[in-house]
Amino acid sequence: MDGVIALYKERGMTSHDCISKLRKILHTKKVGHTGTLDPNVDGVLPICIGQATKISEILMQSGKIYRGAITLGVAYDSEDLDGNLIEQVPVTTPLANDQINAALAKLTGDIMQTPPMYSAVKVNGHKLYEYARKGITIEREPRPIHIDHFKQIKPSTYDATAKTQTIYFEVGCSKGTYVRTLAVDFGKQVGLPSVMSDLTRIKSGGFDISQTSTLAEVKAAVDDQNVQAVLHPLAEALADYPIYQLDDSRWGIVSHGGFLDQSICPEKAPVVRLDYQQQVKALYKFDETVGQYRPFRMFLA
């Protein structure tokens, strides 16, 4: 059983919970996820099965797209609604669309972001959230991230009773981006406390939310002996790479981990997918030092 399950992670579950349940459903230990989702976030969580666990890191590097909400007027220590309220400033005059759009635009492109205290980033051997739970704040180094787009997806709403305003957004971002920190940074742009009040991941690892299956649907497929209905094959997960069809001679070289000359891809693409007899057998990476393609990921079983 080799491939990727584009799991719809439901709220209230950790990514580890999903892995544990899938191992039991699929009766295999060879299961790995492609980056975590916080328990209060739902959406796309690609899960690699069997040989596909070799591409977990590759899928993790892909960009991600989220949709969610930022509420202005309140701030929480966790930067989402799971934490404790730490600041409250009434929004007496709601922001206009041009103000919102200008603030969102300033948070696009290549920017630096400081990881939140409630995160799994390690400092001196301990995760930041372990310090945060003890009331300790640690100095953190900003990290480079890339934001492809950060835009409104529908008109904001104003709560005249609570004196808060909620902005609804979509963001396309690189690996390592903390969207709840983006929400806080948006508030700083407009001079108001803010919190990420809702979040759903709609694309990750090349899979969008329309391609996902719930744990219940995966279990039903396995019970019906139709796991292929929810399992995306390696060929689909690696569809974006240039493909070279191996002949018997070159398959012999690849099956022994040998190098291939650049004639397999004259354009010298950084990574090439190698297929043999309608099956994905390897990813090869171009090595500038020797001018040849060398093994990068092998799927020979």
Please give the average per-residue pLDDT across 156-160, as a whole number: 97
- How many structural domains does the chain have? 3
C-alpha span between 26 and 222 (Å, rounded): 7
Cα distances from 99 to residues 134, 186, 297, in angstroms, run 38, 11, 47
Residues 245 and 271 reside in one and the same domain? yes
Residues 186 and 151 reside in one and the same domain? yes
Query: For the domain that residue 167 is a member of, what is the CATH number?
Result: 3.30.2350.10
Residues 93 and 137 reside in one and the same domain? yes
Residues 95 and 31 reside in one and the same domain? no
Residues 102 and 160 reside in one and the same domain? yes
Residues 28 and 136 reside in one and the same domain? no
pLDDT band at 92 (very low <50, low <70, confident <90, very high): very high
pLDDT band at 9 (very low <50, low <70, confident <90, very high): very high
Residues 131 and 164 reside in one and the same domain? yes
Residue whose entry in the numeric block shows the structure tokens 């079983």: 301
Higher-confidence position of 33 and 166: 166
- The domain in which residue 212 lies consists of 3-62+205-236
Residues 133 and 198 reside in one and the same domain? yes
Residue 272 has pLDDT above 80, yes or no: yes
Contact 28, 3 (CB under 8 A): no
pLDDT for res 301: 65
Cα distances from 110 to residues 11, 60, 172, 205, 261, in angstroms, run 30, 19, 12, 21, 36
Please give the average per-residue pLDDT across 201-206, as a whole number: 94
Neighbours of 70 (CB within 10 A): 27
Query: For the domain that residue 265 is a member of, what is the CATH number?
Result: 2.30.130.10
pLDDT for res 133: 80
Lowest mean pLDDT across 14-18, 115-119, 131-135, 284-288:
115-119
Mean pLDDT of the chain: 92
| Residue that finishes a domain, picked among 182, 203, 224 | 203
C-alpha span between 262 and 196 (Å, rounded): 48
Contact 123, 195 (CB under 8 A): no
Would you name the residues annotated as active-site residues? 38
Neighbours of 254 (CB within 10 A): 20
pLDDT for res 220: 97
Contact 19, 7 (CB under 8 A): no
Q: Measuring CA to CA, which residue among 195, 186, 191 is closest to residue 103?
A: 186
pLDDT for res 141: 82
C-alpha span between 6 and 286 (Å, rounded): 29
Both structure tokens of 14? 């950790």
Residues 75 and 141 reside in one and the same domain? yes
Residues 53 and 115 reside in one and the same domain? no
Residues 163 and 271 reside in one and the same domain? no
Q: What single DSSP character describes residue 138?
A: -
26 phi and psi, to 5 degrees?
A: -90, -10
pLDDT band at 109 (very low <50, low <70, confident <90, very high): very high
pLDDT digit string, tens, across residues 110-156 = 999 887 767 667 777 777 777 778 777 777 788 899 999 999 999 99
Residues 18 and 35 reside in one and the same domain? yes
Share of the chain above pLDDT 70, in %: 98
